[in-house]
Structure 1
Amino acid sequence: MRIPLAYLSIILIWATTPLAIKWSGEGPGFLFGVAGRMSIGIVCVITLLLMLRQRLAWHGKALLTYLAVALQIYGAMLSVYWAAQFIPSGWISVIFGLSPLITALLSALWLKERSLSPGKLLSYGLGVGGLAIMFGSALQFGPEAVLGIAGVLVAAGLQSASAVWVQRIHAQLPALSQVAGGLLLAVPAYWLTWWLADGQWPVSLPLASLASIIYLGVIATTIGFVLYYYVLAHLAATRVALITLLSPVLALMLGHTVNHEPLTMKIVSGTALILAALVLHEFFDRMTNYFVRKTTARTRRRLRPLD
């Protein structure tokens, strides 16, 4: 029961995170928003570690795991925050929907998993088609929107690489320790980036921005990341990435309803193709194997009287 509940919680958190990311950068700037979020997150995570009396491991595999987690916490999140300036929040979750496809490809190359079957190759084609439609829709909003899509695509790739890398290292660390170690590396990098690229303390901090930063720091970073790596420790990386199957639809609806973001036919079509790619990626091989087994069983029953 714990794993399904954690899985559902991640879906809801990931559906609300894109809008919170967009709001957190409106006013103080995206770099301050993400640095503030991760700073709150590390305080919460370290507090949890102390309360649970967990100690961080410092052996070689643990350090590599922290580095792999930091790739997602710093690299992927920084790309998303930068991209959120240029595109509607719902698009972030839609484009992140491609992460199962990217994860499967990386798993095939890095973990030698069998994730390049004909059904999965077809799903990759649908995913690329959906992404092409999203790029076409972005052209209507200007060249900056295209850059925003590219930024989220980079983030999806970095998150997928991080997930596969963590599984390849296989250090078997508690989820909370993985997040804490990753944050210890990522937070100084964030403030250094903010200082070099901006360095100006925000003149104003709107209530929506402040509330979003706190929500992202306490809920999305502390609870969301811990649940993510908890589920990742118990399920295959490709299955964990399927969390993005439901969150894009919820994020689009939330952005359209709450933030009055555009919802054109191209956006709907691109989203539908990407979601279809995810469904095909997950269920095509299963259905094919099911029908093969059924057909084989029927054939054996027919031939049995002839033995």
Structure 2
Amino acid sequence: MLLVALLGFGVVPIAWMFVFMVVAVLMGRQPDELVDGIVGGEVTPWALAYLMVTLISLIPAVWVVSRPLHGLRLGWVTSVFGRMRWTYTLVCVGLSVVALGATLAVGALTPQEAMPTDDLGLNDFTRTTAAYLLIVVFLVPFQAAGEEYFFRGYLTQACGGLFTRRWVARSVAVLVPAFLFALAHGAQDPPIFFDRLAFGVVAGVLVLVTGGLEAAIAMHVLNNLLAFGMAIAFTDMTSALNPTAGTWWTLPSTLTQSLVYLALAWWAARRMGLANAVWGAVLSPPQVPVYGSSGRAPSA
């Protein structure tokens, strides 16, 4: 766990920083533009692209650790089927849109005086806007998947594997990655931190009850596309990546989305007959041969 964290949040960001700075120099840009956008200044398309590719690189970071140390393909971090279950993934994309509708319905019932009152005007469409849009459309789905592979893929199995009691293992597997996920987003107001913690808990539960990352990735992708899309259209990317004015009144709608989606994705997985466990250990070699009494591997 320490090694994958060191790779994902230490080695990889430094390596990509070097690459982006070299490219900036070759294109006649100032390297300070990238650095300022990363360390707290105005988020530029360069800084956003750097953040996206850094988080996407969590996927190979997980693979680099799980393959040589655990002897496992990346597919076993993806699901108990050993690969991405694409049909279920597409179903979850549709269900996430349905859950979003429930969120909008609850949001319409929220007292408007309790919500932020800033007037939102449509931003002008510029070259910078186009750059943001291309980055969001083409990189955000992989960025969301990278976070899920790290927090709900590797860490969920690794944390849960530290304990033998089933209820303790499952609790730790959900709560610890969820807390680290919320913490990894930096300084936040309590409502924003709690919202991200709740998202992590729901995503962790989804991984356990469905047996894979598909449902969590679909929900994460939709949330990020919506958040970044709203920032491009109405506000700015800097405030979207570094929110400071949180309110507890947003929680009813966001929790509605998460819980409705949890119920729908769980129901769909059961309806499709998807397994949520494998026979034998996952992140460590099985202690006994995973075979039937005849000595032959059980059929699929």
Does TM, normalized by the shorter one, top 0.5?
Answer: no
Structure number with the higher helix fraction is 1
If the length of structure 2 is used for normalisation, what is the TM-score? Answer: 0.30
> Taking structure 1 as the reference length, what is the TM-score of the superposition?
0.29
Structure ranking higher on relative contact order (CA contacts 8 Å, 6+ apart): 1
